[in-house]
Each structure stands twice: as structure tokens, then as C-alpha cells.
Amino acid sequence: MGELSRIWRESDHRYRLVAHECGNCKRIFFPPRDVCPICHRDSIGKMREVELSGKGTISSFTVVHDSPRAFKRQRPYVLALIDLDEGPTITAQIVDTPLDQIEIGKRVHSVFRRIHEDGPGGIIQYGYKFAVDLS
């Protein structure tokens, strides 16, 4: 699922949730973008890195039963859309949470986890997943 350079160059974003903020309109984008889709050319050269808090809210989720090969051992797993507090919505798994605790509107926080590995002996890839906040 990827050569080393492809994984390495995204590691800040996937390990520490480093996003891009538009210097013009101050909107925050994750995944990072080199141009703001609102300000267009006015944002050129003005996108700067900001680290997100990893806190957010579940806006939707699914339990995935049928998966690509790299995720076979994790089945079934929960994939969600998370509305992050800083604005962006991202796609990520929800872990460490009983299924009956996962609902639209629940608060979540990011955790650092193994995402998948490229087969036996392959590269192990890491990044963010999310867990529901304990109340």
C-alpha cells in the first residue's frame, strides 16, 4: 500500500495531526492543502502549519465488515467522520470503545495507533485513530 517515502512525507500530519491554516481567511484544513479552496490565489504562500487538538465529535460512523486485504485482521472495525473542534472533518477509525457507546454526536479524542501493515514482513504504518471520551 505504499513505498517508504510516501509514508514518511505524511508522517507529521498522520502522527501529530498537523493541519494547514489559510493566512488569509484563517480557516483550518485537514488534510493539509497548498491552496485554500475559499481564498484561491489570495492564499498562495500563506498556508501555514498548525497542530490540531485531536478533539472532536462523531458526525457519522459505519461498522466495516468487508475490507481491503491490509485491514482484514481488524474486521469488523468502526470507521467514522469526525468533526474536529478546529473545523475540519476527517475520516478515521474509532477504537477502544464498546460498540454501544459509539453514536453520532459523541465526543472523541485522537489516539496514536498502528493503521495497517503491508502484509507479513511489510512496512507497519501508524497514524491517528479516535476513542470516545469517557464521561
Partner 1 sequence: MVTLNDVYIIGAGETKFGELWDKSLRELAVEAGLKAVEDAGVYTKDIDILYGSNTLGAGISYQNDIGSLISDFSGIAADHIPALRVEASTASGAAAIREAYLSIRSGEYNVAMIGGVEKLTDIYGSEILDKTSTLLDSEWEAFFGATPAAVAALTARKYMKDFNVSKEVLARISVNDHENASKNPDAQFRNRISVETALNSLPVAEPLNIMDCSPIGDGAAALLLASEEFVKKNKIDGVRIIASSIAQDFLALHSRESIYRLDSTVIAARKALEKAGIRNDQIGMVELHNSYSIYGLIALEDLGFAEKGKAKDLVEADIKLDGRIPVNPSGGLKAKGNPFGATGVGQAVEAYLQFKNRAGERQIKGLEYAMLHNMGGSGSTSIVHILGGA
Q: Which residues lie near partner 1 (CB under 8 A)?
A: 1, 10, 31, 37, 59-72, 74, 77, 79-81, 88-93, 104, 115-116, 125, 127, 129
Output 57 or 134, the one with its CB closest to partner 1: 57
Positive or negative, the CA dihedral 61, 62, 67, 71 is positive
Cα gap 57→25, rounded to integer Å:
24
Output 65 or 134, the one with its CB closest to partner 1: 65
Cα gap 90→122, rounded to integer Å:
26
Output 77 or 85, the one with its CB closest to partner 1: 77
Shortest reach from residue 46's CB to partner 1, in Å: 20
DSSP secondary structure letter of residue 16: H
